[in-house]
Amino acid sequence: MAIVYNEKTKVFNLQTERTTYQMKIGEFGFLFHLYYGERLEADSDLSYLIQRRDRGFSGNPYEAKEDRSFSLDYFPQEYSCFGNGDYRCDSIQTVNGDGSCVTDLRYRSHKIYPGKYSLPGLPAMFWDEGEGESLEITLEDPVTNIRVILYYGVLEKEDIITRAVKVENASNEKIRLEKAMSVCLDFNQNQFDWIHFYGRHAMERQTERNPLYHGKQSVGSIRGASSHHHNPFVILCDRHATEEQGDCYGMMFLYSGCFLAEIEVDQIHQTRAVMGIHPDMFSFGLKPGEEITLPEAALSYSSKGLCQLTQNYHDGIRKHLLRGEWAHKRRPILINNWEATYFDFNGEKLLQIAKDAKELGIEMLVMDDGWFGKRDFDDSGLGDWYVNEEKLGCTLKELADGINALGMKLGVWFEPEMISEDSDLYRKHPDWALQFPGRKGNISREQFVLDFSRKDVRDYIEESMSAVLDSANIEYIKWDMNRSLGNIYSAALPPERQGEVCHQYVLGLYDLLERLTKKYPHILFEGCSGGGGRFDAGMLYYTPQIWCSDNTDAMERLKIQYGTSFGYPIGTVGSHVSACPNHQTGRSTPLETRGTVAMAGSFGYELDLTKMTPEEKEIIRKQVEEYKRYDELVHEGDYYRLAGPYGNDRVTAWQFMDKEKKNGLFCAVMTRLQANPTPVVVKLKGLEKERMYQVNGTVYSGAALMYGGLLLPVPQEEYESFRYEITEY
């Protein structure tokens, strides 16, 4: 069994193939966290690790009376509360009917069952009864009757434990929820580094690793989306953990809105990590009998370093989060017209791009921004989702039919969540924009955000998009979002409920995505938010791939895709070859190198083929053929970071291997030239040491490649790359 409860010791053991998560119902009904790590016996009890002492200024529950050694101020909690004597970072804050701000949760009941608990309206991992189990623990405040249900899911094979929370107001008075996190995780030591992924637009998910210090440190977003600036995924690991060794803990939030990941080292060198919706943008009123379900977090532990942790998440997301027919189906290699034409295009020009692309083996044309309403620049038209036939010079059906006649598919760009001030929709419904009463407020990219907390707004967008999609054979949607939320006020909600808007917005987004993906199951949806501004597990539940960054420079992408790889499967990364000099950086890199980098993702192109030489077109043709051979490796294989872009200025290298360890792909980009160069050797991973493998025409043992390494050729030009197939010999 994956979940074992010992009635005698009152200990819960959650068991995956290689890990154990343990908690205990303690004295006075408090739920204590005992252990998370390497797998233990199912009847173990690690409560002996809790040191009981009388610590000054650490108070005691009233029931403890003269026992001053019992204090919530340093005992490990499973779900920490504000106001009950635990002064560390808390998981829940309420304002009760009498104005008090205390929550004091005690164990009431639990139940264990096969399969997965349900979180209506929210993205969540899923599995069949035989793949995992669920646990619900009900806690209740005996005075206010606020009830909290802690959900735990155990995905055994992938070593993933999911957590979620539901808060119920079982009292007779209205309460206000000011903070409610989805996960709290306590450790009895502080010798950790923490890894997080920061950035900005066009430079997302840069990797930063720092030792923990006493006090609080956090990352998060109050931008209404998970953001370019921080990602809702963090790692705690041993100070000396590497790719191959050391304890590593991952916390991933399956949510696409405002979030907070907060870590605190306390007075006795213990560590607490909490993650959930950011409280700065959250205030939720609950009338008697009302409830709120909070988003899911996915935890994973590896005793074998960062690589194993990565593969836990990659396998878990691929098998138990991605949905629909495109989850494991080969996705078409596409060309997007954006960097080729920007807003200057018509149907004839698009058809010519499609003809040129078809000759090179490319399978889909994506028509980007500018095809709808009055939209010749990014300052108008958003919200007016009807085809500008005058600009195209044809109907959308005629364009689609022409492209289909070539044997190509057609995709279309949308930005459904936005509204331009210069649009018919805004002139008719200015109240549909998020906007402060009496103020114009903050504008970004000359656009406002539609109030997706409103059903009438979502209904209009669904109707408008459906009319477009029903008019022609559209087989792909790029779903963009090009500004942060601002002016956060809904004209449809009373003043006391304005603290709900950000969360209700995200729920509304999920609602519309659910409707459209069910209505159009054959369409491939790609998420986007100015590139990687909403690259999170919540979006992956609805869109099996996400445009990784608006930055298509191959050298910059090395860092962006490196950081992304720690938690997210490589096949979910939208990655394209673009023109040089690069439109974002002005840098020029070899076309082969741009192909090597873009093949670490769902592959495509973003350039004007009419400006390519015959030699360049031949390179593209070969890249397309090559990627079709590699597609299953990229989307379903194991991924290894061999040499990262941090601390190594000579080479960045990575590798894919199939699950049978028979076939793989080695990729390397030389990032700096040297005069009289020293040798560059890269050690491969994931091979069987006794087997023989052929790499670049030479046969080696797996042991030789993993322990000795592969000697790379001396580069002949700046930023040269190498791609070698690995085949069992």
- For residue 717, give the CATH number of its domain: 2.60.40.1180
Tell me: do 534 and 610 sit in the same domain: yes
342, part of any domain: yes
What 8-state DSSP symbol labels residue 62?
A: G
Q: Compute the average pLDDT of residues 409-429.
A: 98
Q: Is residue 630 part of a domain?
A: yes
- Which pairing describes strands 271-277 and 175-187: parallel, antiparallel, or unpaired? antiparallel
Separation of alpha carbons 574 and 604, rounded Å = 8
Distance between CA atoms of residues 685 and 703, nearest Å: 10
Using CA atoms, how far residue 4 sits from 45, 154, 472, in Å, is 12, 11, 54
Element (H, E) at 538: helix 537-540
Confidence of residue 174 (pLDDT cuts 50, 70, 90): very high
Indicate whether 606 and 707 sit together in one domain: no
Q: pLDDT tens digits for 248-295?
A: 999 999 999 999 999 999 999 999 999 999 999 899 999 999 999 999
Q: What is the pLDDT of residue 281?
A: 85
Same domain, 410 and 488: yes
- Asked if residue 459 is part of any domain, the answer here is yes
Q: Are residues 573 and 665 in the same domain?
A: no
Q: Is 440's pLDDT higher than 90?
A: no
Integer Cα distance of 200 and 635 in angstroms: 27
| 329 in a structural domain | no
- Are 61 and 164 found together in one domain? yes
Annotated catalytic residues are 536, 616
Q: Is the same domain home to 53 and 147?
A: yes
Q: What would the pLDDT profile of 304-351 be if each residue is shown by its tens digit?
A: 999 999 999 999 999 999 999 999 999 999 999 999 999 999 999 999
Per residue in 358-390, pLDDT (tens digit) is 999 999 999 999 999 999 999 999 999 999 999
Q: 583: exposed, middle or buried (C-beta count within 10 Å: 0-12, 13-18, 19+)?
A: middle
**Looking at the structure, do residues 683 and 718 belong to the same domain, yes or no?**
yes
Claim to verify: residue 247 and residue 358 sit in the same structural domain: no
Does pLDDT of 75 surpass 90?
Answer: yes
**Domain assignment of residue 472, yes or no:** yes
562 and 680 in a single domain? The answer is no
Q: Is residue 328 part of a domain?
A: no
**What pLDDT was estimated at residue 649?**
85
Question: Is 326 a domain residue?
Answer: no
Mean pLDDT of 610-615: 94
Under the phi-then-psi rule, with left for phi > 0, alpha for psi from -120 to 50, and beta for the rest, what region is 227?
A: left
Give the rounded distance of the alpha carbon of 352 from its chain centre: 36
Q: Are residues 298 and 354 in the same domain?
A: no
Does the pLDDT value for residue 1 go beyond 90? no
Picking from 582, 613, 636, the residue at the C-terminal end of a domain is: 636
Q: Tell me the pLDDT of the chain averaged across its residues.
A: 97
Select from 258, 126, 236, 209 the least CA-distant residue to 534. Answer: 258
Region 83-95: what's the mean pLDDT?
A: 97
CATH number, domain of 20, equals: 2.70.98.60
Domain C-terminal end among 320, 351, 377: 320
159, with CB counted inside 10 A (0-12, 13-18, 19+), is: buried
Residue 648 pLDDT greater than 90, yes or no: no
682 within some domain: yes
- Give, in order, the Cα–Cα distances in Å from 637 to each of 190, 468, 633, 656: 34, 37, 5, 6
577: burial class by Cβ within 10 Å (0-12, 13-18, 19+)? Answer: buried
Q: What is the mean pLDDT of residues 112-126?
A: 97
Q: Are 286 and 356 part of one and the same domain?
A: no
81: confidence class by pLDDT, cuts 50, 70, 90: very high
Q: What Cα–Cα distance (Å) separates residue 566 from each residue in 205, 233, 234, 250, 542?
A: 10, 9, 9, 10, 21
The predicted structure's pLDDT at residue 203? 98
Whether 662 and 609 map to the same domain: the answer is no
Q: Which domain holds residue 649?
A: 643-728
Is residue 726 a contact partner of residue 657, using CB atoms and an 8 Å limit? yes
Among 636, 665, 699, residue at a domain's last position: 636
Q: What percent of the chain has pLDDT over 90?
A: 98
Please count the structural domains in the chain: 3
Q: What is the pLDDT of residue 626?
A: 97
Q: In the structure, what pLDDT confidence band is assigned to residue 574 with cuts at 50, 70 and 90? A: very high
Burial (CB count within 10 angstroms: exposed 0-12, middle 13-18, buried 19+), residue 239: exposed
pTM of the model: 0.98
Q: Which CATH number do you get for residue 514?
A: 3.20.20.70
Chain position carrying tokens 């790609």: 526
Contacts within 8 Å (CB) and 24+ apart, 260-263: 260/181, 260/218, 260/219, 260/220, 261/196, 261/218, 261/219, 261/220, 261/230, 261/232, 261/234, 262/89, 262/216, 262/217, 262/218, 262/220, 263/89, 263/194, 263/212, 263/216, 263/217, 263/218, 263/234, 263/236
Amino acid 124 reads A
Q: Residue 193: beta bridge partners?
A: 211, 237
State pLDDT tens for residues 212-240.
999 999 999 999 999 999 999 999 999 99
